Amino acid sequence: MSDYHDIKPLTWYCPDMKTPAARTWTVRDSSDLGRAISGVRRARGLTQAELAERMSLHRQYLAGLETGANTIILERSLRILRRLGATVTVTIDDG
């Protein structure tokens, strides 16, 4: 039995983007988290370089996160939560 659930992200329209963007992401693994980081960054109108500078990170590190760079602690934590029946969700805060 898989730990994954077939939950599709909710969508919203961002006028600065050509297609609807996800507003809520269900995070099951590092790739999902990377897509959420990238989606929120783009919805906020930031480039990787701009966000990296604001966060005092190297752009390459941020790019790795956005492409789902695997971290053992993250993967284990998400697996534990899935096994416990919990769902991790990232939602854009409009406030």
* Residue 44, helix vs strand vs coil: coil
Note whether residue 7 is domain-resident.
no
Per-residue pLDDT tens over the stretch 10-43: 333 334 434 445 589 999 999 999 999 999 999 9
For all residues of the chain together, what is the average pLDDT?
A: 80
Q: Token pair of 37, please?
A: 């980081």
Length of the chain as a residue count: 95
Q: Token pair of 95, please?
A: 């406030």
pLDDT band at 71 (very low <50, low <70, confident <90, very high): confident
Nearest to 23 by CA among 88, 87, 89, 92: 92
Note whether residue 63 is domain-resident.
yes
Cα 78-22-28 angle, rounded to 5 deg: 10
Q: Is residue 95 over pLDDT 80?
A: no
Domain span at 71: 28-91
- Whole-prediction pTM value? 0.71
Q: What is the CATH number of the domain that holds 78?
A: 1.10.260.40
Domain count for the chain, please give it.
Answer: 1
Note whether residue 15 is domain-resident.
no
Residue whose entry in the numeric block shows the structure tokens 């039995």: 1
pLDDT band at 94 (very low <50, low <70, confident <90, very high): confident
